[in-house]
Amino acid sequence: MAKSRSFFVCQNCGAVAARWQGRCESCGDWNTIVEEGDSPAAARVTRGRAFELEGLTGDERPAARIVTGIGEFDRVTGGGFVPGSVLLLGGEPGIGKSTLLIQACAALARRGARVIYISGEEAVAQVRLRAARLNLADAPVELASATQVEDILATCATGKRAALIVIDSIQTMHTEAAPSAPGTVTQVRASAQALLRYAKTCGSTIILVGHVTKDGQVAGPRVVEHMVDAVLSFEGDAAHHFRMLRASKNRFGATGEIGVFEMTGLGLAEVANPSAIFLAGRDASAPGAAVLAGLEGQRPILIEIQALVAPTSLGTPRRAVVGFDQNRLSMILAVLEAHGGLKLGMHDVYLNVAGGLRADEPAGDLAAAAALVSSLTGAVLPADQAFFGEIGLSGAIRPVIHAGMRLREAAKLGFRQAVLAQAQQINDDDRRAGLTLRPCADVAQLVAAIAQTAPRARRE
Ligand code: TYD
Ligand code: MG
């Protein structure tokens, strides 16, 4: 009889190690390696039977997608769920995954589809309370609190085929197919596999919820990512109301789409025009604020970048950012000093992206630089001016992608001028957006332009 041996699995990435280690060699995380049950049976090579290979064209017609009716959700999935597909919805605890899914379930059930919601974390009463609070109690969603995958699949197999099954969350599931303790990577993977097989054979769409923690304590849903058809992530700053749904993988649609929601007292509300919301409450009469004509995925979004540059009282001046990359700020400051003639060494610098958003794309450099110059000099930027462009170490302002989309979004929100790279190609179609273009070759020109055109703020 083969001797059973334990093996060691990284709870973050699923890599198998021969012995215990403090650090996973595959993903580099610390303290994630855990001993798990018996070693998998050695794969026996048997003689297989040959099967037929086929060409790329066939007579399959794509099945109709299942549309929830929540526009921002359907947009991210690429126009609704594909029957038989499995989606993973990741996000930090408390961000609103369960809320989003109970709303999607209710919307779909109200359209007459059979929808099953399995909660492994909350009791039925808790889910009911939330549904009641969201005015969804009348929707014919079938609900259960369960964690045993075999029982869940047996339940789903009785009655009409469900259009959608939600498993909240995959980390709480366990299956008899794997020997390890619940919550381990092996369990998560085996449970996901069983659910996947069910979806493919029965044609139900399954959504798996996966918690992502920063310290990797819970068995990471990363091991599930390569198995599923789509990986959606629900993101947002817990201190703000805005939430963004993004697809980082989608076998049935584009990955650039994002959906924007606002967490209200009545659940998640769709935000059809995010730019208008993110710019609401803007005080355009104070120095230190610039509007970035940005992109989130494939969607243009206007966001305000705020800067505060003030003489420091400390030996080492502070540089703090919220929603912006610290290294990019350091680079922009260095370039403004070296090529823009600004003296920032004795100033504290704070940079903030309004609304709890992140401005991570390089196109945000120009807006950040403009906000910094504006705050330092006290020159107020024109309220109808939007910025986009990348700043290079030489001080040059470089073109960015999708200028046309940015210009059209800015025009839609009433902006009249755009500051952009001199080398940015603008075609006639983009010009029709009607904005006055103010090309800038380098940061020296930007500094000069701000000093020249902007009215100075009155200082007491
Ligand atoms: P939840 O969906 O439980 O998060 P997750 O499943 O991702 O862990 O939502 C958690 C938060 O959402 C909770 O802290 C309160 C807030 N919330 C609202 O603000 N309004 C609402 O209507 C609901 C249902 C929740
Ligand atoms: Mg939840």
- Range with top average pLDDT, 202-216, 237-251, 418-432: 418-432
* pLDDT, position 27: 81
Task: Please check the confidence at residue 42 and state whether its pLDDT lies above 60.
Answer: no
% of the chain beyond a pLDDT of 70: 93
Domain boundary among the residues 241, 272, 303 is at: 272
* Token pair belonging to 192: 């996901």
What ligand 1 atom has the least distance to the C-alpha of 97? 7
Based on the domain organization, do 332 and 184 belong to the same domain? no
61 belongs to a structural domain: no
Q: Which atom of ligand 1 is nearest to the CA of 130?
A: 24
CATH, residue 297? 3.30.230.10
Asked whether residue 349 is domain-assigned, the answer is yes
Based on the fold, state whether residues 23 and 127 are members of the same structural domain.
no
Q: Are residues 93 and 141 in the same domain?
A: yes
Does pLDDT of 257 surpass 90?
A: no
What is the rounded CA–CA span in Å between residue 187 and residue 179?
8
Residue with the bigger pLDDT between 87 and 214: it is 87
**Domain end among 243, 272, 301:** 272
| Banded model confidence at residue 98, pLDDT cuts 50, 70, 90 | very high
The owner of tokens 């904005």 is: 435
- Residue 121, domain member (yes or no): yes
* pLDDT given for residue 457 in this prediction: 55
- Average pLDDT for the chain: 88
Nearest to 160 by CA among 195, 193, 116, 121: 116
What's the rounded mean pLDDT across residues 342-355? 92
447 pLDDT more than 90:
yes
310 vs 256: which has the higher pLDDT: 310
**CATH number assigned to the domain comprising residue 209:** 3.40.50.300
Q: Which atom of ligand 1 is nearest to the CA of 101?
A: 2
Q: Phi, psi (5° rounding) for residue 253?
A: 180, 180
Name the residue type at position 119: S
Using the predicted structure, report yes or no on whether residue 219 has a pLDDT greater than 70: no
| 292 neighbors 388 (Cβ within 8 angstroms) | yes
What value does the mean pLDDT take over residues 246-269? 88
Considering its fold, how many domains does the chain have in total? 3
Q: What is the pTM of this model?
A: 0.79
Cα(210) to centroid(ligand 2), Å: 9
> Do residue 86 and residue 25 come from a single domain?
no
Residue 63 lies in a domain: no
268 and 292 within one domain: no
Q: Based on the domain organization, do 259 and 291 belong to the same domain?
A: no
Nearest alpha carbon, ligand 1 atom 17: 267
Domain boundary (225, 240, 272) is at 272
**Are residues 305 and 368 both part of a single domain?**
yes
Check if 93 has its Cβ closer than 6 Å to any atom of ligand 1.
Answer: yes
Check pLDDT > 70 for residue 339: yes
Do 230 and 170 belong together in one domain? Answer: yes
Note the pLDDT of residue 37: 67
Domain identity same for 337 and 353: yes
Atom number of ligand 1 nearest to Cα 133? 22
Residue 132: per-residue pLDDT: 95
Range from 157-161, 442-446, 453-457 carrying the lowest mean pLDDT: 453-457
Query: For the residues 82-98, what does the mean pLDDT come to?
Result: 92
pLDDT digit string (tens) for 9-21?
A: 887 777 888 888 8
How confident is the model over 390-423, as pLDDT tens digits? Answer: 999 999 999 999 999 999 999 988 999 999 999 9
Is the CB–ligand 1 distance for residue 266 below 6 Å?
Answer: yes
Instruction: For residues 303 and 351, state if they share a domain.
Output: yes
Give a yes or no: residue 394 inside a domain. Answer: yes
Range of the domain at 244: 71-272
| Residue 236 in contact with ligand 1 by CB distance below 6 A | no
337 in the same domain as 260: no
Does residue 140's CB lie within 6 angstroms of at least one atom of ligand 1?
no
> What is the pLDDT, as a whole number, of residue 213?
67
Check pLDDT > 50 for residue 314.
yes
Distance 96 CA to ligand 1 centre (A): 4
97 CB under 6 A from ligand 1? Answer: yes
User: What is the reported pLDDT for 239?
Assistant: 76
pLDDT level of residue 45 (50, 70, 90 thresholds)? low
What pLDDT shows up at residue 143?
Answer: 95
* DSSP for 99-163, written as a single string: HHHHHHHHHHHHTT--EEEEESSS-HHHHHHHHHHTT-TTS--EEEE--BHHHHHHHHHSSSPPS
**Residues 125-135, mean pLDDT to the nearest whole number:** 95
pLDDT of residue 261: 93
- What is the pLDDT, as a whole number, of residue 217? 45
* Cis status, amide bond into 375, omega within 30 of 0: no
